[in-house]
Structure 1
Amino acid sequence: MALETMGLSPMEAFAIVGVAGVGAQWIAWRFRMPAIVLMLAVGLLLGPVLGVFLPERDIGPLLEPLISLAVAIILFEGGLTLNFRELHDAKSAVLHLVYIGAPLGWALSALALNLIAGLSWEAAIVFGGIMIVTGPTVIAPLLRQARLRARPAQALQWEAIVNDALGALAAVLALLVVLVGHQNLGGGEALWHLVSGVSFAVLLGLAAGGGIVAAFRRNLVPEYMKVPLLFVTVLAAFTGANAILHESGLLTVTVMGLLIANANLPSYSEIHRFKESATILLVSGVFILLGAGFSFETLRLLDWRAVAFVLSVILVIRPLTVFLSLMGTALPWQEKALIAFTGPRGVVLVAVSGIFAEQLVAQGIADGALLVPLSFVLVVATVVLHGFTLAPLARRLGLTSGDKPGLIIVGGSQFSTELAQALEKAEVKVLIADPNRRRLLSARKAGLHYYYGDILSEAAETSVEFIAYNALLSASDNDAYNTLVATDLGPELGRNAIWQVTREKEDVARYTLPSQLGGKSIAGGRTLSQYLALLDEGWSFRTTRLTDEYRIEAWREASPDAIPLALVTRDKLSFISEGGRLNEAKPGARIISLMPPDVSASASRADRATASLLPASRLPDARVAAEPEAASGATI
């Protein structure tokens, strides 16, 4: 039972929403829990359970516009991720899920609502249209947690964002059909209202997006004003479209984001990263508001039919819709199965159904009141189910990058090759990238995975499964390029996972760079040339596993002159940084180190150097001999 409180001021309410939402996301990340589930649970705890924060009481009339504007910005940011250049082999699946899946899902959902949930046909076709949406507010955090491979992740993300706007418009169309039968509104007038509203929404999105692109390309907007201008334009376009046709603003902001994403703007990366951060804040807040604003009293309107309906949606309607839609595509059955059993609903479903429920009840359709509790139960059921099952299901189907750590080494050299071999002994997935084919010869000879091309290129975005690698070492012979790579990929992989070999003259004041540029230095402060010199002197990499009997102290005693470089645990790789605490290494961890030459070391550096200069045609690796010389941007 909720506790009686005096209520909160709007400022206190906003503070609670922010702290609870972001705090729930951090706890979910820290303890590897589904973030969406935790945010919803925190919202329910603060609202209907404890009564600490009740949106209707503490925010009042601001609640609905806040959620609407938040959803608009979330959808716009989602549109920014829909870059056609990145779609590639997922294009066919996305088109089928939109063109076939959306109308098929609408029809099947309406049928289930009528036959199973017991809704009238009028309420069923309206709610069936809204059920097309699969929730970009939910999909993005789930994909981030599950670390899916590129193609199924792209299919789910594109479907969620595009169908979110289409679902709202389908519900608008269905509502207009209902109003024609209950009001003195002609069919032609209703059709004109819909067509003109949708056309205006699309044109407004194109105009707003095109205006932004033109202004940015002609340098009419300074850098510091670009993100604020985007925010204002998104809100204005969303509000303007909704003024003509309710909920058509969702289509406007999606079109706007899609246009900007494919305009190849120089500032796109910075814009997208800022919008991504804003979206995380908004998703957190929206789910706290959603949970806190729910009333358990509305559940009394439901009976066993609601449970049967939710089960039919998850186990029958969604799988049937996906499998029928994806017939004829080249997707393997594993990817089809994953998409079929992943259909979480989000805040858009609840927000839009609440609006349309009021209009249906106002027209004398009593069971329209069931839309809100049905939508909430469906959201909770799918969020909880997919929050806990998506990652395990994807692993079972072999569609994730796995839980083992992965490292990208930028720069091909003997140092990179031997380090990669030592890391692979510790079960770390390693990729060596270099735009110079000759520098990759030693990696190719050793049978290592490599990428021939610039790791920052657009080709790399589609050829390299970045999600399979959670750390990067920039170790080319070009210090400026190392710094560029570490700085550019830092936001994607996380600053704490970006490492860089020490730059030449780094300790000289005039060469020192700000802390926000480049990656973290490895302990020892050696440059690439110094590491190569050690290898030429006979030093070698060694992978040592710690046990209960052989702990870090024993390793130090046995190898007093060793240079520890990296520590590998079951799911994490970290290089030993300056001041790093190697003493925290526990049994089961593996230490990657450089060992000095000893009497038994008979490996000839000269032989290796000679082998590295051999032409590709004389290397023993059959894969290399068969590889076309003109190939560029290929991952092996």
Structure 2
Amino acid sequence: MMDSLLLILMLIAVLGVGSQWVAWKFRLPAIVVMSIAGLLAGPIFGLMNPEEAFGDLYRPFISIAVAIILFEGSLNLNFKEVKGLGKPVFRIVTWGAFLAWIFGSLTAHYVAGLSWAVAFVIGGIFIVTGPTVILPLLRQSKLKPTPAKILKWEGIVVDPFGALLAVFAFEFILFLLADGRDATALLFFLLASLFAVVLGVVFGKVTGWMFESGHIPEFLKSPAVFALVIACFIIADEVKHETGLLAVTAMGMTLANLGISSIRDMRHFKENISILLISTVFILLTSSLTMDTLMDVFQPAIIGYVLLMLFVVRPLSIFLSTVKSGLSLQEKTLVGWIAPRGIVALTVASYFATILADEGFAGASLVTPLTFALVFSTVIVHGFSIGWLAKKLNLSSEGNPGVLIVGSNRFTNALAKTMKELGIPAVVVDSSWDRLNGARKAGIQHNHCEILSEQTEYTMDFTPYDYLLTATEYDSYNALVCSTFLPEFGRKNVFRLPKQNHSGDHLVDIDHTIGGREVFTPTEGIEELKYKLKSGYVLRKTSLTERYLYEDYMRDREQETVLLFVLKQSKQIEFFTEDLETTATAGDTIVSLTPPSKEFNKIKEKLEEKRNGKS
């Protein structure tokens, strides 16, 4: 086992980020890869035990990390997002959570053999799913908007309530068992929870006011939010343990609904920090387990408890709580199946395992293995099944990678129509009904909206689209849209047309760090492309074979041909750009803007073939 704390920190970071990369590269659930990496480094090979190495800093670090992750998730909870979903979301986070608590507690008592006190505490903990597990799954599974939003809201809103419910159950049990039945502690817990909500709202409003009024400079905004989140969490948690999570959730939701201009930048910064912390904390928790805990997982009572939680408790609580809520049977089935437990369940359960054992409650020794069994089982089962089940229930937007095209004109409409013929999901977005008229007539999927508007985030589903292409007549607008959506699509998937020299906004130059990659050729702006189409150029699809290779195509094409993109056999799209070399192999399709002479010669050849065939 490693003795150096620096080496352990290095290994945690490498395993955490490395697991995220492996998951992205091979399209695996990230939480599954991280859990396996932590188990291999910890109890299986014994390379490290972070809980022993960190000592007294172990639990405070994990608590603060969870608070930041929960705050980052709550920054996405804008009430506009649940427009039309208010009833099912409200029912699931209230009645659904309550039913899950009752059913889970009964299962823990009668199946796992826990005492009533321990069963109701553990039942409260296990109603949580949480952003640490739900958000990575949603990021990879490409669910349709309705189930994705419901799962996200449930995961983030119920997360602090699960911890509070466990505290409430514990305090209530102590109240019932204590001599004289003093209700002071129970009343203090309720007041502390109310204080946490008020504190979070105040912190959120004060933060928003300071940002908008200019009291905090731009370069200090991210560090300031970071410090304020930690302060909000610790103040509430010092008043009463576990209420800090409620405080940071209230703070994040308050900021998300203030409509301040800094929220998008803040969200991206927090998302980057959150991904790093999720990776780190999962490795910390799984590598700190012992072999004895792992072996206890295989007890029949624990296995039976996990199976009932998976196949009975969760589906039943969702189906009962969403009666007449407007959700379809498919949506109820998916939401009723997906409930992976994560960091909050592990951390809160480990805290209560010690407390319950000190109080002498029967079954307290089973809390840790029971928690790990449920966390690891749900992470594995739900991580691998969410994509498959969503496809079976027709709730997945997974398919061929799509293209979101900004700007409707003769060229983009022709490009979108060609993509549609190739089976590529493509949508043309424009803020002008007049400009969209051509797209409507051509039967192309289109969306009338301002792509930079906050409302578009809630009215348009971006899930099917992996690539962004901006092709309006204004170069500065194209660059602005690309820069805005770089975090969502990734730098390698954001493209814009080359600058125009004689039209548009006459933009002289664009810094190389701004906007996306320039596509096609450095001289072909939107006006040139539109003019070529008007002059008789056509979009042509050329399939490569073993007999007709990429080198043959490049040799035969006319010099004026504008190369647009390659549709690979894997259905991935590679746009032709100046800074990246694009190649194609047999089975790929090259799409190009071809001069009329080439097409005229093709028509002549076909006519000759027909004449020869008749004669």
Return the TM-score normalized by structure 2.
Answer: 0.94
Q: Against the structure 1 CA distance between its residues 133 and 463, is the aligned structure 2 distance closer, same or farther, given a 3 Å change threshold?
A: same
Q: Against the structure 1 CA distance between its residues 274 and 599, is the aligned structure 2 distance closer, same or farther, given a 3 Å change threshold?
A: closer
2:609 is matched with none
Aligned mates of 1:527, 1:238 — CA distance in 2 = 52
Aligned mates of 2:180, 2:572 — CA distance in 1 = 63
Percentage identity across paired residues of the two chains: 38
Mapping of 1:80-99 within 5 angstroms?
80-99=75-94
- Asked whether 1:159 is paired with 2:154, we answer yes
Aligned mates of 1:579, 1:162 — CA distance in 2 = 45
- Asked whether 1:349 is paired with 2:315, we answer no
Corresponding residue to 1:266 among 261, 264, 274: 261
Corresponding residue to 1:288 among 283, 286, 301: 283
Mapping of 1:33-52 within 5 angstroms?
33-52=28-47
- Contact map agreement 1:523 1:579 (CA 8 A) in 2: no
Mapping of 1:30-429 within 5 angstroms?
30-184=25-179, 186-301=181-296, 303-429=299-425
- Contact map agreement 2:500 2:527 (CA 8 A) in 1: no
- Asked whether 1:539 is paired with 2:537, we answer yes
Corresponding residue to 1:514 among 501, 506, 511: 511
2:611 is matched with none
2:576 is matched with 576
Q: Against the structure 1 CA distance between its residues 600 and 488, is the aligned structure 2 distance closer, same or farther, given a 3 Å change threshold?
A: closer
Corresponding residue to 1:529 among 527, 537, 540: 527
Aligned-residue offset at 1:553: 2.5
Aligned mates of 1:8, 1:162 — CA distance in 2 = 40
Q: Against the structure 1 CA distance between its residues 335 and 550, is the aligned structure 2 distance closer, same or farther, given a 3 Å change threshold?
A: farther
Aligned-residue offset at 1:601: 4.4
Aligned mates of 1:510, 1:461 — CA distance in 2 = 28
Aligned mates of 1:90, 1:165 — CA distance in 2 = 21
Q: Against the structure 1 CA distance between its residues 122 and 599, is the aligned structure 2 distance closer, same or farther, given a 3 Å change threshold?
A: closer
Corresponding residue to 2:548 among 544, 550, 571: 550
Q: Against the structure 1 CA distance between its residues 553 and 253, is the aligned structure 2 distance closer, same or farther, given a 3 Å change threshold?
A: same
Q: Against the structure 1 CA distance between its residues 600 and 262, is the aligned structure 2 distance closer, same or farther, given a 3 Å change threshold?
A: closer
Aligned mates of 1:593, 1:145 — CA distance in 2 = 32
1:516-564: per-residue Cα shift (whole Å, max 9, x none)? 2122111311111111121122110012233334332233344344322
Unaligned runs of 5+ residues in structure 1 are 604-636
Aligned mates of 2:476, 2:256 — CA distance in 1 = 28
Aligned mates of 1:127, 1:521 — CA distance in 2 = 55
- Contact map agreement 1:403 1:571 (CA 8 A) in 2: no
Aligned-residue offset at 1:185: 6.6
Q: Against the structure 1 CA distance between its residues 337 and 45, is the aligned structure 2 distance closer, same or farther, given a 3 Å change threshold?
A: same
- Contact map agreement 1:322 1:339 (CA 8 A) in 2: yes
- Contact map agreement 1:523 1:580 (CA 8 A) in 2: no
Aligned-residue offset at 1:11: 2.4
Task: Count the aligned residue pairs.
Answer: 596
2:607 is matched with none
Aligned mates of 1:45, 1:448 — CA distance in 2 = 51
| Helix, strand or coil at the partner of 2:373 | helix
**C-alpha RMSD of the superposition:** 1.9
1:172-195: per-residue Cα shift (whole Å, max 9, x none)? 110002222444473421321221
1:75-115: per-residue Cα shift (whole Å, max 9, x none)? 01111010111221222221110111011110000010011
Aligned-residue offset at 1:240: 1.2
Q: Against the structure 1 CA distance between its residues 433 and 510, is the aligned structure 2 distance closer, same or farther, given a 3 Å change threshold?
A: closer
2:585 is matched with 586
- Asked whether 1:458 is paired with 2:454, we answer yes
Aligned-residue offset at 1:300: 4.4
Unaligned runs of 5+ residues in structure 2 are 603-615
- Contact map agreement 2:500 2:507 (CA 8 A) in 1: no
2:596 is matched with 597
Residue identity matched to 1:175 = F
Aligned mates of 1:563, 1:151 — CA distance in 2 = 41
Residue identity matched to 1:574 = E
Return the TM-score normalized by structure 1.
Answer: 0.91
Q: Against the structure 1 CA distance between its residues 513 and 177, is the aligned structure 2 distance closer, same or farther, given a 3 Å change threshold?
A: same
- Contact map agreement 1:209 1:256 (CA 8 A) in 2: yes
- Contact map agreement 2:44 2:291 (CA 8 A) in 1: no
Corresponding residue to 1:476 among 472, 480, 490: 472
Aligned-residue offset at 1:425: 1.9
Aligned mates of 2:546, 2:116 — CA distance in 1 = 67
Q: Against the structure 1 CA distance between its residues 548 and 318, is the aligned structure 2 distance closer, same or farther, given a 3 Å change threshold?
A: farther
Q: Against the structure 1 CA distance between its residues 330 and 181, is the aligned structure 2 distance closer, same or farther, given a 3 Å change threshold?
A: closer
Q: Against the structure 1 CA distance between its residues 190 and 559, is the aligned structure 2 distance closer, same or farther, given a 3 Å change threshold?
A: same
Of the structure 1 ranges 300-309 and 551-560, higher mean CA displacement relative to structure 2 is found in 551-560
Q: Against the structure 1 CA distance between its residues 599 and 233, is the aligned structure 2 distance closer, same or farther, given a 3 Å change threshold?
A: closer
Aligned mates of 1:510, 1:340 — CA distance in 2 = 53
Of the structure 1 ranges 365-374 and 300-309, higher mean CA displacement relative to structure 2 is found in 300-309
Of the structure 1 ranges 204-213 and 271-280, higher mean CA displacement relative to structure 2 is found in 204-213
